[in-house]
């Protein structure tokens, strides 16, 4: 695999992984660059966890290659990665600060620096006021932030987060988002798995969409969006209107009582309402459509299932 770009932090090249007769990942090519937040989306069973396990060297590829921070996962110094599993098991009888200190020792940090680092991290995850309380008394959101703190203790270059917002309320979700964005500002690269499309759209620079082990798309969500368009809602749609619209070009169609077309064809868009009315349609509504990540997700998954 090429080492030409130092900026590539995660590189998967024709990466495949099978479990007996289940092919969980099929020839995956992924590139995540330094300093970006990359969201990994896919329905249950798509292969997201398998990819995370390969990144962390919990399992080995069946074929193909994966490099993390320019090295194979088996050779990589694990302190360069911070990992937040979906379910963090945290010692409930320790305080947040004790737990960070414990992690600092496990990571082999310089003993004299550990307390200072623990306080710094507790501040970064907004737990400084709860630092001396036992974790058993923390809310779900606070426990998730402790988990993030544990992942941050060793000043990782790459954070791998498995469903970091799952089970959190909207305030908890935005706190996690803020923490991720603050880390990104410090140059940390973040890879996270999620089912929460809105969250991914708000937080990520780029997304990868996985379905049945195949990467069906990768890019900025704006780049994945191909069908921003306008929608005219009409009454009295007749055969004349339907055949007219179908003759226009492949980007216009009749859906129920609406006519939908893309915005690239501005000339046609301008003329269309009057033409439709001339042909007997009654214009009820005109709306600009922008495709959300959720629309993109459903479209790509449906296309790849066909
Ligand atoms: P979810 O969102 O439900 O966590 P996922 O996208 O993380 O799903 P994976 O857990 O990677 O998906 O699973 C991908 C496929 O591999 C699934 O068909 C799953 O049943 C299968 N699989 C995963 N682990 C094993 C295993 N240890 N043995 C056999 N099959 C497995």
pLDDT of residue 300: 78
CA of 52 to the centre of ligand 1 (A): 11
Task: Assign 275 a pLDDT band (cuts: 50, 70, 90).
Answer: confident
Task: Please work out whether the CB of residue 24 comes within 6 Å of at least one atom of ligand 1.
Answer: yes
Over 80: is that where the pLDDT of 253 sits?
no
Handedness of CA 283, 288, 292, 296 (dihedral sign): positive
Residue located nearest, by CA, to atom 1 of ligand 1 = 44
Residue of 21, 24, 197 with the most ligand 1 atoms within 8 Å of its CB, for mutation: 24
The pLDDT of 95-102, averaged and rounded, is 96
Centre of ligand 1 to C-alpha 70, Å, is 27
Q: E strands along the chain, which residues?
A: 8-19, 22-33, 37-41, 63-68, 81-84, 158-162, 189-194, 206-211, 214-219, 229-235, 252-255, 258-262, 282-289
Largest CA distance in the chain: 81
Q: Mean pLDDT, to the nearest integer, of 61-75?
A: 95
pLDDT tens-digit series, residues 104-130: 999 999 999 999 999 999 999 999 999
pLDDT band at 4 (very low <50, low <70, confident <90, very high): very low
Output the pTM of the full model.
0.78
State if residue 42 touches ligand 1 by the CB under 6 angstroms criterion. Answer: yes
Least confident span in 25-29, 209-213, 214-218, 296-300: 296-300
Q: 211 C-alpha to center of ligand 1: Å?
A: 12
> Two tokens at 291?
């495709």
Q: With pLDDT > 90 as the criterion, what percentage of the chain qualifies?
A: 52
Between 223 and 204, name the one with better pLDDT.
204
pLDDT grade for 229, boundaries at 50, 70 and 90: low
Q: In which band, very low, low, confident or very high, does the pLDDT at 232 lie, cut at 50, 70 and 90?
A: confident
Q: Which residues pair with 289 in a beta bridge?
A: 229
CA of residue 182 to ligand 1 center, whole Å: 32
Mean of the per-residue pLDDT values for the chain?
86
Least confident piece of the model among 4-18, 144-158, 252-266: 252-266
pLDDT of residue 234: 81
Kindly state if the Cβ of 84 falls inside 6 Å of ligand 1.
Answer: no
In this structure, the residue with its CA closest to atom 31 of ligand 1 is 19
Using a 6 Å cutoff on CB, does residue 17 contact ligand 1? no
The protein residue with its alpha carbon nearest to ligand 1, atom 9, reads: 47
Please say if the pLDDT value at position 34 is more than 80: yes
Residue nearest to atom 18 of ligand 1 (CA): 45
Q: Which long-range contacts (CB under 8 A, 24 or more apart) does 180-184 make?
A: 180/37, 181/37, 182/124, 183/124, 183/152, 183/159, 184/35, 184/36, 184/37
Q: Which long-range contacts (CB under 8 A, 24 or more apart) does 58-62 make?
A: 59/17, 61/15, 61/16, 61/17, 62/16, 62/17, 62/18
- The percentage of residues in the chain with a pLDDT greater than 70, rounded to a whole number, is 90
Under a CB-based contact definition with an 8 Å cutoff, are residues 67 and 5 in contact?
no
Q: pLDDT of 128-142, one tens digit each?
A: 999 999 999 999 899
> What is residue 167's predicted lDDT score, i.e. its pLDDT?
81
Q: Which atom of ligand 1 is nearest to the CA of 210?
A: 6
């Amino acid at each position: 695999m090429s080492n030409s770009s130092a900026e590539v932090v995660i590189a998967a090249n024709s990466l495949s992984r099978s479990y007996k007769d289940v092919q969980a990942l099929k020839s995956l090519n992924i590139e995540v660059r330094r300093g970006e937040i990359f969201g990994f989306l896919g329905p249950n069973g798509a292969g997201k966890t398998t990819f995370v396990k390969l990144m962390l060297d919990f399992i080995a590829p069946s074929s193909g290659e994966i490099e993390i921070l320019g090295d194979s996962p088996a050779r990589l110094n694990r302190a360069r990665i911070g990992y937040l599993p979906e379910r963090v098991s945290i010692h409930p009888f320790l305080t947040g600060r004790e737990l960070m200190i414990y992690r600092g020792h496990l990571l082999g940090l310089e003993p004299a620096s550990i307390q200072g680092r623990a306080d710094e991290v507790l501040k970064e995850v907004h737990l400084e006021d709860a630092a001396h309380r036992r974790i058993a008394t923390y809310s779900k959101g606070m426990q998730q932030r402790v988990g993030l703190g544990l992942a941050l203790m060793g000043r990782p270059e790459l954070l791998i987060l498995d469903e970091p917002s799952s089970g959190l309320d909207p305030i908890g979700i935005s706190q996690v988002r803020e923490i991720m964005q603050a880390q990104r500002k410090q140059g940390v690269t973040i890879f996270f798995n999620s089912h929460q499309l809105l969250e991914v759209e708000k937080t990520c620079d780029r997304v990868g969409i996985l379905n049945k082990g195949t990467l069906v798309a990768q890019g900025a969500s704006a780049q994945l969006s191909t069908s921003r368009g306008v929608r005219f809602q009409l009454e009295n749609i007749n055969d004349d209107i339907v055949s007219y619209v179908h003759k226009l070009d492949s980007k216009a169609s009749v859906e129920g009582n609406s006519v939908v077309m893309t915005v690239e064809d501005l000339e046609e868009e301008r003329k269309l309402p009057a033409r439709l009315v001339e042909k007997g349609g009654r214009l009820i509504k005109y709306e600009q459509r922008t495709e959300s990540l959720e629309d993109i997700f459903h479209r790509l998954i449906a296309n790849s299932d066909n």
